[in-house]
Amino acid sequence: MARHIVIGKGPVGATTARLLDEQGHEVVVLSRSGGNGSTALDVTDTASLRQATRGAEVIYNCANPPYHRWPTDWPPIANALLDATESAGAVLVTMGNLYGYGPVDTPITEDLPLAGTGAKARVRIDMWRDASARHRAGRIRAAEARASDFFGPGVTEAGHLAQRMMPGLLAGRAVRVIGNPDAPHSFTYVPDIARALVRLGTDERAWGRAWHVPTAPPLTTREAVGHLCRLAGLPPAKVGRIPWWPLHLAGLVNPLLGELREVQYQFDRPFVVDSQAYTTAFGEVPTPIDEALGATVAWWRARLGR
């Protein structure tokens, strides 16, 4: 039985921990505040983190600092995890995203340059380059999973298909979305993310590079709403667009909304991830979209009591 350490108790961390437990591994979840089955630990405290990760075979970085504090909060977390991984002789698997590529006009593949110039993009680029440098030097073994907007059971705050959409949709109301509702967009299912993270941690063929998590063919947000309504047994919901200008104004006082400027392109233009490299290498495909969206509807109905 291997010892696996999951950093972060959010939807990705919690789903990954459950999968590892189902596979019979020893699993420890560490989070800043503790609770929900996790142990409280400040992961920037390198000495404490080394102690907590001693004997680990794999460390999964599923942490998620507040969006507007990435430039200040991520570097000490990432550096402490690199040191702890090296000390433990473990594999480091980082849950990443697609920000580092910046705006592109084609489906996003892993061989595209990390050309993003925004503050959040630079943070993620630096994290991967630091991990890659240690991997190449033989000091750690590292891999990164990259996913698009994620959805599924347990996802409340992130992405399009969560708190800002699901309660109203299930109540039969019109839906208002950020960005162009008719632009193709990739959505990644959280159980597929967890499955990919575990694969990257336990299959040596995965180490030393980044991989895109198996992701279903893109949908427009309007199409996703239509699928959700059909699966929920509801008539099609009207889909409207929230203009950017009130969000930009609100961003002057709300730092979280202010961060949307950097990634506005992800909402206004096609944003499509190509995960074929992962599927070809490991033979794993994304969960069928109706199955994934159906599970999402069921989870939200249970949560809302509808």
Q: Which residue has the higher pLDDT, 217 or 160?
A: 217
User: Which stretch of 111-120, 254-263, 275-284 has the lowest confidence by average pLDDT?
Assistant: 254-263
Per-residue burial over 96-115, b if 16 or more Cβ lie within 10 Å, else e, is bbbbbbbebeebbebeeebe
What is the arithmetic mean of pLDDT over 6-30?
97
Q: Answer left, alpha or beta for residue 37, where phi above 0 means left and psi between -120 and 50 means alpha.
A: left
What is the arithmetic mean of pLDDT over 13-41?
96
Residues in the chain: 306
Six-digit token string for 159:
């992405």
Helix (H, G, I), strand (E, B) or coil at 106: coil
Indicate whether 91 and 177 sit together in one domain.
Answer: no
Other beta carbons less than 10 A from residue 233's beta carbon: 7
Domain range holding 164?
156-185+217-272+287-304
Distance CA 28, CA 7 (A): 9
Other beta carbons less than 10 A from residue 142's beta carbon: 28
| pTM for this model (two decimals) | 0.96
Task: State the pLDDT at residue 258.
Answer: 82
Indicate whether 82 and 54 sit together in one domain.
Answer: yes
What is the arithmetic mean of pLDDT over 56-60?
98
Indicate whether 87 and 181 sit together in one domain.
Answer: no
Q: What is the CATH number of the domain that holds 262?
A: 3.90.25
Q: What is the CATH number of the domain that holds 21?
A: 3.40.50.720
pLDDT in tens, 162-199: 988 999 999 999 999 999 999 999 999 999 999 999 99
The residues near 22 (Cβ < 8 Å, ≥ 6 apart) are none
What is the arithmetic mean of pLDDT over 135-152?
97
Indicate whether 125 and 194 sit together in one domain.
Answer: yes
The residues near 23 (Cβ < 8 Å, ≥ 6 apart) are 198
What's the total number of domains in the chain? 2
Final residue of a structural domain among 212, 229, 254: 212
Dmax of the chain from CA atoms?
57
Indicate whether 193 and 83 sit together in one domain.
Answer: yes
Does residue 224 lie in a domain region? yes
pLDDT in tens, 201-228: 999 999 999 999 999 999 999 999 999 9
pLDDT in tens, 223-263: 999 999 999 999 999 999 998 877 788 778 888 778 888 98
Indicate whether 27 and 131 sit together in one domain.
Answer: yes
Task: State the pLDDT at residue 285.
Answer: 98
Confidence band (pLDDT; 50, 70, 90) for 58? very high
What is the arithmetic mean of pLDDT over 131-145?
98
Q: In DSSP terms, which residues pair with 142 in a beta bridge?
A: 92
Other beta carbons less than 10 A from residue 27's beta carbon: 21
